[in-house]
Amino acid sequence: MIELAPGLIYRPAHFSRVEQEALVAAIRDIVRAAPLFTPTMPRTGKPFSVRMTNCGPLGWVSDRDGGYRYQATHPATGEPWPAMPPALLDAWRDLAGFDAQPEACLVNFYAAGARMGLHVDSDEQEPRAPVLSISLGATCLFRYGGSKRGDPTKSVKLSSGDAVVIGGQSRFCHHGVDRLFPGTSTLLANDARINLTLRRVTPA
């Protein structure tokens, strides 16, 4: 356990290989029920390079007309999101240090070359709840900074099986994924990476 910044807790290799394989199997079931979609930026409609889906009662979506938001249904199929797998609820209970259940698990699928620009997660209405991040597949270079966009940043490599709890003073810090490292995944084909983020959305 390494505290990268106040409230930013890095747990390298938290999940065993067998646990990672079980998470990938659970995600395959989720993607079958709730296909990956390509979010687009508010107003401009520019597509993200990361594809996404969700599980749990709420899911994060974004498109040109509706902007960033949580909603109970898949933007393309209109179906409710699939249930959160028990292994993810267990991980939240073990790592989040927050009494109420998570309501959303955002599944980010990075194909080779995908990245995520520096941003703040601020669409949740429960600022006391942390975000729990789980990385699977290819190693990435993750960047985090301060509450202001121009604040200095630091970088850390996130590898398959790593968990990060983002809470406290770090909950509203800027962060992003600069790049993936090809040839680093023995879990997923084609240098892909999956990141899961568990979130409490409504006030607990």
Site of interaction with ligand MD3 (CB under 6 A) = 106, 108, 116, 121, 131, 133, 144, 164, 166, 170-171, 173, 175, 177, 195, 197
Q: Exposed, middle or buried by CB within 10 Å (0-12, 13-18, 19+), for 202?
A: middle
Residue closer to ligand MD3 (CB basis): 133 or 160: 133
Q: Which is nearer to ligand MD3, 159 or 170 (CB)?
A: 170
Query: Binding partner of residue 84 among Fe ion, ligand MD3, none, CB under 5 to 8 Å per kind?
Result: none
Binders of Fe ion among 90-129, rule CB under 5 A?
121
Sheet holding 140-144, edge to edge: 116-119, 175-180, 140-144, 154-158
Nearer residue to Fe ion within complex by CB, 19 or 121: 121
Place of tokens 């955002």: 106
| Nearest to ligand MD3 of 26, 173 (CB atom) | 173
Q: How far is the CB of 83 from ligand MD3 (least distance, A)?
A: 20
> Which listed option, Fe ion, ligand MD3, none, makes contact with residue 177 (CB within 5 to 8 Å by class)?
ligand MD3
Query: Closer CB to ligand MD3, residue 85 or residue 109?
Result: 109
Smallest Cα–Cα separation from 139: which of 160, 156, 118? 160
Question: Quick one: what does residue 160 bind among Fe ion, ligand MD3, none, with the CB cut-off 5 to 8 Å set by partner type?
Answer: none
CA distance 19 to 104: 20
C-beta separation of 167 from 97 below 8 A = yes
* Cα distance between residue 40 and residue 191, in whole Å: 23
Whether the Cβ atoms of residue 199 and residue 122 lie closer than 8 Å to each other: no
| Interface ranges with Fe ion (CB under 5 A) | 121
